[in-house]
Structure 1
């Protein structure tokens, strides 16, 4: 028996003559189901991140490789555009009124380095100088400075300099007082290493520069001790 809903010329003639009833239109749910069946698996890539594309690439067939690569390049371009938006490159002065906006609400994925200082404190001036160089070297990190009492009322001077490190509004590290920084002997690469330990920047330094100085100092001390020991042995032999 012929299906009265089939799309054939004979059925069309019978419908026109009123022998067959009009063709039944598919229900809305059936249309959606058919559309989903016809829809390519490629559509699932549209909402995937770069990491998700990498994680799920084994789930897709060879015919989808071109589409996967297309979406990967799209996601990569979006990521690069986001990175370009988040370029800072300088140390910005803020006040207490700016604190919430610039620090706590800095944005997703943003590291913030905030230096509390006071004019006339030599070590604070040195750190501000080092931070200017680091801000240019690591433009994806937001570097800020603020006069301590302007930012935090009655902040004690003996805590200066102070550096707070935040990520997405949460404090991740704090460095308080001159002893933490090693005084006026602080070098830019030593501060860079310290901030990299907090996660605020990704340094290309292979080891702590301070350790190199300490190793040289210890080596020098050991050499001096050996020299004194030899001199002492020689004096004993003379007696």
Structure 2
């Protein structure tokens, strides 16, 4: 055997260290090339995130909030956002053709819901058949508020047993969100939200996630911020409280 073919145990303290010895070993293929440091990539990503955050710092702010920033922001930059908000509001007003809760009849369900969902999101609330379900009463009130606020979304309501024969009372209220003829989201009772503590903003967030409400919609922002603040205080001050205590 050629002596040069005999394997040699090369001492290596740290294969990733920047040493002259490791450079020689890498040159001869004894140890692999050192992988590139992730630090520059991380710094580049952080810098890009900071840049985007700065560029979009006015996203979601309404006209009143923009007015409060007149002393802090460039006037031309603010004016751009004012025009953008006014265009958004104009589009919203033009699309607001519903603005009420529609009470459904079973023979018209296909026309008023499935067919209508090809033009707009349609949200159907199936309420308690006995009229005594607390969660149904909560959602009925939320439905009225949302219908008035989001006129470009069609909010409908119907007693569950009149829609689906023998529909279980324990499954009410049920929410069905339609778009383009299909059910995009379904909620059975309020257990996926906050139960009897469910607020309008909680339902708004469901609508945002499904696409019925645009993320950053100025109509939702103030309510969401206020609710998050209130819920935060509740969690801090009443973390051990019974969920049903308000309804005893």
TM-score (norm 1): 0.52
1:109 alignment partner, one of 77, 100, 119: 119
**Structure number, greater radius of gyration:** 1
Seen in structure 2, the aligned counterparts of structure 1 residues 171 and 107 have a Cα distance that, compared at 3 Å, is: closer
Aligned with 2:191: secondary structure? Answer: helix
2:134 alignment partner, one of 109, 115, 122: 122
Question: CA offset at residue 212 of structure 1?
Answer: 4.7
Question: CA offset at residue 184 of structure 1?
Answer: 2.0
Q: Is the 8 A contact 1:95 1:147 kept in 2?
A: no
2: CA distance, partners of 1:213 / 1:176: 25
Q: Is residue 119 of structure 2 the alignment partner of residue 88 of structure 1?
A: no
Q: Is the 8 A contact 1:131 1:143 kept in 2?
A: yes
Seen in structure 2, the aligned counterparts of structure 1 residues 181 and 160 have a Cα distance that, compared at 3 Å, is: farther
- Give structure 2 stretches of 5+ with no counterpart: 1-86, 240-248
1:198 alignment partner, one of 210, 217, 225: 210
Seen in structure 2, the aligned counterparts of structure 1 residues 219 and 133 have a Cα distance that, compared at 3 Å, is: closer
Q: Tell me the C-alpha RMSD between the 2 structures.
A: 3.1
Q: Is the 8 A contact 1:91 1:135 kept in 2?
A: yes
2: CA distance, partners of 1:105 / 1:220: 47
**1:61-210 residue pairs with structure 2 within 5 A?**
84=94, 87-106=97-116, 108-118=118-128, 119-202=131-214, 203-204=217-218, 205=220
The number of residue pairs the alignment matches comes to 144
Seen in structure 2, the aligned counterparts of structure 1 residues 166 and 208 have a Cα distance that, compared at 3 Å, is: farther
TM-score (norm 2): 0.50
Q: Is the 8 A contact 1:94 1:146 kept in 2?
A: yes
Question: CA offset at residue 189 of structure 1?
Answer: 1.9
2: CA distance, partners of 1:208 / 1:158: 32
Seen in structure 2, the aligned counterparts of structure 1 residues 99 and 187 have a Cα distance that, compared at 3 Å, is: same
Q: Is the 8 A contact 2:106 2:162 kept in 1?
A: yes
Q: Which string of whole-angstrom CA distances, capped at 9 and with x for unpartnered residues, describes residues 181-228 of structure 1? A: 322211122222222222122343456777656654665699xxxxxx
Seen in structure 2, the aligned counterparts of structure 1 residues 95 and 170 have a Cα distance that, compared at 3 Å, is: same
1: CA distance, partners of 2:137 / 2:238: 32
